[in-house]
Structure 1
Amino acid sequence: MTVIRALFVYPVKSCGAIALDRAQLEANGLQWDRHWMVVDASGRFVSQREIAAMARVVPAFVEGGVRLTMTGMDAPLPLPFTPRGNEARVQATVWKDTFEALDEGDEAAQWFSRALGAPVRLVRFAQDVTRLASKKWTNDEDAPTQFADGFPLLVTSEASLADLNARLAAKGAPPVPMSRFRPNIVVDGGEAFDEDFIDTLSISSTKEGEAGAHEVVLRFVKPCARCPITTIDQLTGEREAGWPAEPLDTLAVFRADPRVDGGLTFGQNAMVVAGAGERLAVGAQAQWEYRFED
């Protein structure tokens, strides 16, 4: 039996996570996931790849929005769910995608610039903008996303993490927590790296205000090639010493994937096939459907 063990959202791209017992699923992923993003003067996204300290920006859901805190900052930064309505529209870039976003103003820019020690601004995803995942991977289907690197959801497996940590232990290295991989959904069940061969994941879910079970169907569309963010402690914002650092050094031995040009993969990017509007819950049962190649 496969079970949902954890749900995470990251309201600000590359900043801290919020662990949830229940999460609203939308066509573009979990609600409020990567809805805000830090950008440089050119509008290009800034991540832990450049500024590891972003991991220490801690979000929390509060009445009407999100509150950001960081050790050393005098006051939190409130981010209301509802836009003010007077935000400037600016160009924002995530990898090869450039599209309009809403600038969150000088107060947010100054807060993040002080927190990160670099001149940056904060933008919000504009609800009248559509950004689609690469149709090369989605079988030409529309898969909307917000400021995520490329896909609506990232799913990881506890069995795969246990396998990786056993390999780390065998070489005398400490284990790594799942937080290094920044997933949205963590599943428990099956063998290590079964997700390489999964087509769809069906999850029993509930809709707020309605009785009875519904079903969410996610399709796994692309193995997730890992980057140096996996070498950053997500609590302290500190990088592992040395290069290549763990867990990339160990992943390089057995997880180079030709489907992503030899990238070191862990977890699967996924799109929503059915169930937008449903609520996922930790402890919900799920079922794999394997992909059988001709």
Structure 2
Amino acid sequence: MKQLSGLFIYPIKSLGGISLTSAKVTDRGLEHDRRWMLVDQNNRFISQRELPQMALCKPALLPDSLQVTYQPTGETLLIPYQPQTNEFAGVTVWDDTCRGQFVNTGADAWFSRILGIDCRLVYMPDDSLRPVDPKYADADKITSFSDAYPFLIIGQASMDDLSNRTSEVIPINRFRPNLVFTGGDAFLEDEMAHFVINNIHFYGVKLCARCPIPGINQETALRVKEPLKALNGYRRKNNKVWMGQNLVHEGLGVLTVGDVIEVLEVKEAAVFD
């Protein structure tokens, strides 16, 4: 039996994640997931790819605000769930530009000081509709400030397989999934074309090509060789390494750790170099 074993959100793109026991599914993914983002002076997103120390900023959900703690110093910042400005701009994530709302000058100053770069914090309002890549999913599917899709799923068996190949336990936070499950063989998620959790339908649209972030220790912000070195040996294709599958969905509701996953359709497994 396949069951949800982990639920994760990353409220501010490329900062730390939050592990949840239950989460609401919205039109663009899990509630609060990547609804905030840091941008540079050109309103383009910044990430751990350029600033690994972003990993040391850990968020927490409070009743009326998002709290971010910078682990090395213990400094905290409270971010209201509703932005405090009426300032909007087109902000860029990869090749997409969508509408973002600046949060407040205090947050801008705090992150600029902590990260050592001039940056601003933006929020994606409900009326900002960013479509997923139409090459892989229907045009009516939307996402937040994620790289491309509203969900990423990885099987625990896949993580165990990877850890066995590296002789160390690779933490799941290196891969930043939203959904983790138990049951089935390693990399079963590659073949999951259509599945249902708690009456919400999910569709596997594209395997996830991994950037350098899995090679950043999320507790120290140091760059390390594993697990990318191991993945390069058996999950490589077209000069990229692949881990996890991107998803789109139909339906709203709540997901809870322990929910049963019913696979309705599978597709051919990927072949790697």
Shorter-chain TM-score category? over 0.9
| Identity between Structure 1 and Structure 2 (%) | 38
- Cα gap change, 1:47/1:141 in structure 2, threshold over 3 Å: closer, same or farther? same
Secondary structure (helix, strand or coil) at the match of 2:113 reads helix
The one of 211, 218, 234 aligned to 1:227: 211
**What are the within-5 Å matches in structure 2 for residues 54-93 of structure 1?**
54-72=54-72, 75-84=75-84, 86-93=85-92
Counterpart residue identity of residue 14, structure 1:
S
Mapped to 1, the partners of 2:125 and 2:221 lie a distance apart of 29
8 A Cα contact 1:160 1:192, kept in partner: yes
- Per the normalisation by structure 1, the TM-score is 0.87
Secondary structure (helix, strand or coil) at the match of 1:15 reads coil
The one of 236, 243, 255 aligned to 1:256: 236
Secondary structure (helix, strand or coil) at the match of 2:6 reads strand
Task: Report the equivalent of 2:271.
Answer: none
The one of 203, 209, 217 aligned to 2:197: 203
Mapped to 2, the partners of 1:188 and 1:25 lie a distance apart of 20
- Cα gap change, 1:90/1:141 in structure 2, threshold over 3 Å: closer, same or farther? closer
Counterpart residue identity of residue 167, structure 1:
R
Counterpart residue identity of residue 189, structure 2:
E
8 A Cα contact 1:108 1:122, kept in partner: yes
Counterpart residue identity of residue 177, structure 1:
P
Mapped to 2, the partners of 1:292 and 1:224 lie a distance apart of 16
- Segments of 5+ residues of structure 2 without an aligned counterpart are 269-273
Secondary structure (helix, strand or coil) at the match of 1:76 reads strand
Offset, 1:74: 6.9
Runs of 4+ more than 6 Å apart: none
Mapped to 2, the partners of 1:225 and 1:133 lie a distance apart of 16
8 A Cα contact 1:180 1:233, kept in partner: yes
Offset, 1:16: 0.8
Task: Report the equivalent of 2:259.
Answer: 284
RMSD: 1.4
**What are the within-5 Å matches in structure 2 for residues 233-252 of structure 1?**
233-240=217-224, 245-252=225-232
Deviations, residues 120-161 of structure 1 (Å, cap 9, x unaligned): 1111112211101001011x3421111000000111110111
The one of 158, 163, 176 aligned to 2:170: 176
- Per the normalisation by structure 2, the TM-score is 0.94
Task: Report the equivalent of 2:8.
Answer: 8
Count residues with an aligned counterpart: 268
**What are the within-5 Å matches in structure 2 for residues 24-39 of structure 1?**
24-39=24-39
1:269 paired with 2:246, answer yes
Secondary structure (helix, strand or coil) at the match of 2:153 reads strand
